[in-house]
Each structure stands twice: as structure tokens, then as C-alpha cells.
A = this chain, B = another copy of it.
């Protein structure tokens, strides 16, 4: 093999995911797209809001020169000023443009901050279950992701967190509202988390940065609120994207915000500008930067997603599925009946239902349902979910 041995092995390890997708594609081809209930991808069926479309039309006719040109690697200065002003108003923290880096989505932002923080062998913590890409991103910089257990409600186990910290710990990534469980951390949880991080940071002699990956912030239900971790813990890097709240996953636009009072804040600001360049992102797409700058206040379609949750969640529970009730995002993470997630996923296929095993999220014994699909798909899938659990021993 002429290609990278490391990449060959990584692809082999993830080949079962590809196999699943291929089987799904084959099933769709056989039965017709509309007759397969595909809950595998967090790819919103929801279209971007009218405000996005209007702004895109305006900018498409804008004749200002230089709008598609290079810019500072951190992004267009006026765009970063707008983002900073929005975050300052939301949090009461004095963000300035200097501490904002526009990025190629939240994925870009995570890589940019991890490259700026990590040396080989460094450790990044996250609570399990976790978004599968975190592991790959830590590995990109020759470090490791160390999952920390949570309780039955997927809430942080603070003693386990303390026990997981070593001198190599550089950061903890949290994600609330959470993929794949849909849980939202309360203010109390964030406060305890903040205190715990302060304690352990002091103990190891350097700060553990809190990377708050929050693309689902605006997608919450039943009037839940999502506290800003940066209000409670100054060594916080806020990361978001507009893939979910504005339904723009294909456009790769997001940002990171460094708390202006965080340790080495200025060095981090310079470093993230630098890593955005050297990782080959160079800068976030210019046109999308200019669009989202004006849409920070735009609400997400939380009502629409709540309706979908309310179609699916009570039905599944009534059929006998055990599941924590999601308060945000657009995922359900039930226990796999029988305990073997891969086996149950294969069983679900018999009912034309596609979902993802929890093993991929560091949580074997569970499976993920991404319900960012049409309501009609959810409705038509219900009898299959019912038959699947009834017929499964």
C-alpha cells in the first residue's frame, strides 16, 4: 500500500460505518427513498431561514470591491466585531474582535484550538457518550481523547472527572445541548463543573481550558435555558457553527471565541489566527462570514424540532424503549433492547429503519436516532420501532 499506514488502519477501523451507509443506500435503492426511515445523519431537512436567503440575495448583488479577497486569517474585522458585540450582550463578558476567530464550521474551530493548545502526548477530556469526531481531532495533534463517564441521565460524574486529570490534561470538551443524547446542562451543573476545573487546574499547575462546543444552543425545548459556561469559568473557549441553527452544514461557517480574561488570552488569539492558517483553512468562507454576521439574533426552528421530538419520544417510551428525555438538539439516545447495539441496529433494518450504534459515540449498549427529518418520516417509522422491540428477544 503506497498510502499512509496510519490512515489505512483508521479507515479499516471505521469501515463498519461505511458498510452501514452502503447497506442503507442499497436499501433505499431497493425500497425507494421515501420508504426507508433514515435516522443516521445530523443533516437538517429544515431549510435556512428567509433572513438568510434575503441576505444572500442582497450580497449577491453587492458591488463592493474586495469582498471575495483574502483577509486576516481570523476573519473579516467587522464581522468579528459584530460577533463580539453579540456575545458580549448575551454574556455580559467584554468580548472584542481580537478574541473571535471565524472558522470552517465548528469542526474547523475545534481543530484550530486543539492545534493551538496541544503538544504530542497531551490529553483532552470529554464526557461519554461523545461526538465521535472529538477522538479523531485529538489524534490529529498526536494527543489522545480520554472519555469521562457520566451517570444514567448522561450528567457529568465529577469524581470521575477529577480522577481523569493528569499533568498532560490540556482541555475538557463539553457539548450542551448534547449530541448524541439531547441533554442540556443546567446552571448548577455548569457551576459545579467550573469549580471542579478550578480545583484540578490548581492542582496540576496549569489551566484546563473548557472548550464549549455549542452548535445546538438555540435548539432547546420546553423553555429550557442554556447557560454560557464562559460566565462561570474564565478559561473557556466558546465554539459554535451555523450548521444546525441556520441549517447551513454544507457551507462550513462557525467561529470560536476566547474569553478575554482567560489564561494567555492574547497568545491564544495570536495562536488561533496562526493555526487557522497553517491547518490549511486559511480563513472561513468570506461570503458566509458576511451573511452570518447579521444573523446572530436569528432564532432556530426549535418549535419545529420540539414537535418532532414530541412525535417520537413518547411513542418510543410507550413501546418499551428506555430513553432519557432530550431537552435540546435533535437526537434521541435510547438503550438498545438486549444490550447489543450493533445487533439491534441490524434488527431495526428489517423494519427499514436506519440508526447508528452507540459504540461509535463511546457508549455501547445505546443507539442514536437523528430526528432532523420530515415529520412524515417519523410518523411512518413508528410502527417499525414498535414491531422491532416487540419482535426482539
Interface size on A, residues (CB 8 A): 77
A359 to chain B, nearest CB (A): 18
Query: With an 8 A cutoff between CB atoms, is A78 at the interface?
Result: no
Query: With an 8 A cutoff between CB atoms, is A206 at the interface?
Result: yes
Name A68's contact: one of B7, B248, B275, B286 (CB within 8 Å): B248
Contact A119/B285 with A65-B47, A105-B280 known, Cβ cut-off 8 Å: no
Q: Which residue of B lies closest to A246 (CB)?
A: B68
Q: Which residue of B lies closest to A64 (CB)?
A: B47
Residues on B with C-beta less than 8 A from A56 are 60
Name A3's contact: one of B59, B264, B285 (CB within 8 Å): B264
Residues on B with C-beta less than 8 A from A31 are none
Cross-chain contact A264 with B2 (CB below 8 angstroms): yes
Query: With an 8 A cutoff between CB atoms, is A8 at the interface?
Result: yes
Cross-chain contact A285 with B252 (CB below 8 angstroms): yes
Residues on B with C-beta less than 8 A from A68 are 47-48, 247-251
10 further contact pairs, Cβ within 8 A, besides A4-B117, A11-B271: A2-B209, A4-B116, A53-B60, A70-B250, A104-B280, A107-B280, A133-B277, A133-B278, A249-B282, A287-B287
Residues of A that sit less than 8 Å from B by CB: 1-8, 10-11, 14, 41, 43-45, 47-48, 53, 56-57, 59-61, 65-71, 104-105, 107-108, 110-111, 115-120, 133, 136-137, 140, 142, 206-207, 209, 247-253, 263-264, 267-268, 270-271, 274-275, 277-288
